[in-house]
Amino acid sequence: MRSLIDIQDLSVAELDELFATAADIAEHPARYAEAAKGKKLATLFFEPSTRTRLSFEAAMLELGGSVIGFSDADSSSAVKGESVGDTARVISAYADIMAMRHPREGAALVAATRATVPVINAGDGGHAHPTQTLTDLFTILREHKRIEGLTVGFCGDLKYGRTVHSLISALSRYAGVKVVLISPAELSLPGYIKGGVLLEAGMDFSETTDLEAAIPALDVLYMTRIQRERFPDPDEYERLKDSYVLTPEKLVAAKPTLSILHPLPRVNEISVRVDADPRAKYFSQVENGKYVRMALILSLLASAADKTPLTAPGEEMPTMACHNPVCITRCEQELLPRFRVTNRELQIIRCVFCEKRAEERR
């Protein structure tokens, strides 16, 4: 049985296959109208969502399947203290596949270690959002016919923006991709992406705070929202919230072939006046998300006969601890923390659930 917890769970060949299926679905939807007949998708959303939940639900319905689930943690037994692991085990008795969004980093991985049906990570805290990455890559492919060799700018909240983390991780596997990181210093990329992905993969990347100066070199501009809900300090959010606002005036020197993407929702970071620009692709990105999720559901259902839950990666290290306050290991009943060495030379050890750097137990 396969689950999708991290975008690296899929090889480039598997990504190509998913995108080919998604393109075929977009062209011939009727051919897929009964492809998941008799199957149920459970959507377990412990955090708000419009696009991810509803695109998963639309995807399953358009495949002829049905949908159960909840869109609010307060209407689930999580409020009574039920663990993520038990929830996943229980839902496995009701559904053939599940998509989970949770505010705790690593929650979907925990779910996959207990579920007997495929689990899809629909966003875990500020950590990862692999199905948004499928959406993003599919959109880039449709617009540019390639991913290799593109220059991709990421602008806004690179610290808490989980879609940025997953997309950079995916791009690291395509030759010649250049990354331009545009953010205030306070919202720069976390170490597990900068050190663990960009530097490890030897990617060509640069950092700036100046959006306008960066724009002319870009093939793709990936704008992001400042993630208010992840800030421990509301005053810091107020100070940073309008760091970048993309307007038509700032696009004057942009390439005519630029694609402007945004995972949405936007708050104020792209003026609505940009929507009429043919380079604004964020609404076609939304539609592409449904097709790739249809392809993903079909692919994971094909692996579902084997009911073996995922084995958590890494190993127990009794002397190490994860101090990330939003890691799932900080609250999940009897979950033993696990770690892996990600760089032997520099002695970097990371929690396998949230990927934050582990520290010696205090």
Are the C-beta atoms of residues 17 and 134 closer than 8 Å to each other?
Answer: no
Binding flag, residue 51, ligand CP (CB under 6 A): yes
Residue number, 164 or 218, with CB nearest to ligand CP: 164
Strand order of the β-sheet with 119-124 is: 66-70, 40-45, 97-102, 119-124
Residue from 130, 263, 309, 337 binding ligand CP (CB under 6 A)? 263
Options 49, 87, 133, 324; binder of ligand CP; rule CB under 6 A: 49
Which is the catalytic residue, given 102, 129, 159, 225? 129
State whether residue 324 is helix, strand or coil: coil
Place of tokens 């948004």: 132
Q: Does 265 sit behind a cis peptide bond, omega within 30 degrees of 0 on the bond before it?
A: yes
3-state secondary structure of 265: coil
Please choose, out of 50-58, 205-213, 298-306, 354-362, the segment that lies near ligand CP by the rule CB under 6 A: 50-58
Q: How many whole angstroms separate alpha carbon 127 and alpha carbon 221? A: 21
Among 157, 332, 174, CA closest to 231 = 157
Q: Is 165 a catalytic residue?
A: no
Task: Return the SS3 of 47.
Answer: coil
Instruction: Choose the stretch contacting ligand CP; rule: CB under 6 A; options: 44-52, 68-76, 237-245, 334-342.
Output: 44-52
Whole-angstrom Cα distance, residue 197 to residue 337? 22
Question: DSSP per residue over 54-101, as a string?
Answer: HHHHHHHHHTT-EEEEES-GGGSGGGGT--HHHHHHHHTTT-SEEEEE
129 is catalytic: yes
Residues 294-333 that bind ligand CP (CB under 6 A): none
Q: Is 52 in the site for ligand CP (CB under 6 A)?
A: yes
Q: 344: how many CB neighbours lie within 10 A of its CB?
A: 8
Q: How far apart are CA 85 and CA 312, in angstroms?
A: 12
Which one of 115, 177, 187, 264 is in contact with ligand CP (CB under 6 A)?
264
* Annotated catalytic residue, options 52, 113, 151, 342: 52
Residue placing its CB nearer to ligand CP in the complex, 45 or 339: 45
50 is an interface residue for ligand CP by CB under 6 A: yes
DSSP β-bridge partners for residue 281: none
- How many Cβ atoms sit within 10 Å of the Cβ of residue 199? 13
Binding part of the chain for ligand CP, among 170-178, 246-254, 258-266, 317-325 by CB under 6 A, reads: 258-266
CB 191 → ligand CP: shortest distance, Å?
23
Query: How far apart are alpha carbons 96 and 265 in whole angstroms?
Result: 29
31 is catalytic: no
Residue span binding ligand CP (CB under 6 A) among the ranges 24-32, 170-178, 259-267, 293-301: 259-267
Q: Which is nearer to ligand CP, 92 or 227 (CB)?
A: 227
Site string for ligand CP, 212-251 (x = CB under 6 A): ----------------------------------------
Q: What's the rounded Cα separation, in Å, for the pair 124 and 103?
A: 6
Pairwise CA distance, residues 152 & 259, whole Å: 9
Q: Is 239 a catalytic residue?
A: no
Per-residue contact track with ligand CP, 106 to 135, x per CB under 6 A? -----------------x--------x---
Which range binds ligand CP by CB under 6 A, 70-78, 151-159, 261-269, 297-305?
261-269
Known active-site residue 144: no
Quick one: which of 145, 163, 273 has its CA closest to 219? 145
Active site amino acids: 51-52, 80, 101, 129
Residue ranges that bind ligand CP, judged by CB under 6 A = 49-52, 123, 132, 263-265
